[in-house]
Amino acid sequence: SILVNKEGKRFVEELERRDVISKAVTEQTGGVSYMFWDEASMEASGVKEAHPEEYERLIKEKHLVKADTIDEAAAFFGIDAETLKKTIADYNQYAADGKDLEFNKRGKLVAFGEGPYYIMVSQPSVHHTMGGVVINTNAQVLDKDGKAISGLYAAGEVTGGIHGTNRLGSDAIADITVFGRIAGEQVSK
């Protein structure tokens, strides 16, 4: 799939980190992007078979649009169709050449084939915050001078610094479990 903006242009490497993609999306017209893919990609993903009710609901509610042509897909969201067609043609050429000249997309580039095509709005949302109170290895909250605040413990997303500047998927599970247990043990002493 590719991400395009309202103007029908790619604007970021689709395999970038979530923070990079989110920032790039917010800089686009309306703060949204559109994910575009073809039937071959849909079939390869197995999404329709794995989640048939959700697929049908998304189609019915028009969050996910299935279109016979690129023009039809573009028209649904008011995207510039001619630019989108050029973007897709360029991407298909990159796939044929084995090199993305615009964004150096990693991995194997797969050209878009015949329709039907799929398109949906894609925009960032908050699901994890970076930053928060600083804790030590005993899950004690530290004051601005780095001293433990007596009786105050923390774990999970309220804490800061555990993940550095970016979080990898599923990493929060480990820190909430480990520091939650440590905080519980400390409080019980």
Residue 51 DSSP SS3:
coil
Catalytic residue check, 18: yes
Structure tokens at 38: 């073809």
Q: What is the pLDDT of residues 106-153, one digit of tens each?
A: 999 999 999 999 999 998 876 666 678 899 999 999 999 999 999 999
**φ/ψ bin of 57: left (φ > 0), alpha (ψ from -120 to 50), beta (otherwise):** alpha
| 139 contacts 154 by C-beta, under 8 angstroms | yes
CATH assignment, 2-122: 3.90.700.10
- Return the amino acid letter for 172: A
- Return the amino acid letter for 36: F
pLDDT range class, residue 76, cuts 50, 70, 90: very high
**CA nearest neighbour of 91 among 20, 14, 173:** 14
Strand pairing report for 33-38 and 64-67: unpaired
| 113 contacts 38 by C-beta, under 8 angstroms | yes
Q: What is the pLDDT of residues 52-69, one digit of tens each?
A: 999 999 999 999 999 999
Report the pLDDT averaged over residues 169-181.
77
Which among 17, 18, 106, 167 is annotated as catalytic? 18
pLDDT range class, residue 79, cuts 50, 70, 90: very high
Residue 17's pLDDT is 87
Residue 175's pLDDT is 77
Strand pairing report for 2-4 and 33-38: antiparallel
Residues of the chain with CATH 3.90.700.10: 2-122
- pLDDT over 70 for what percent of the chain? 91
pTM attached to this predicted model: 0.73
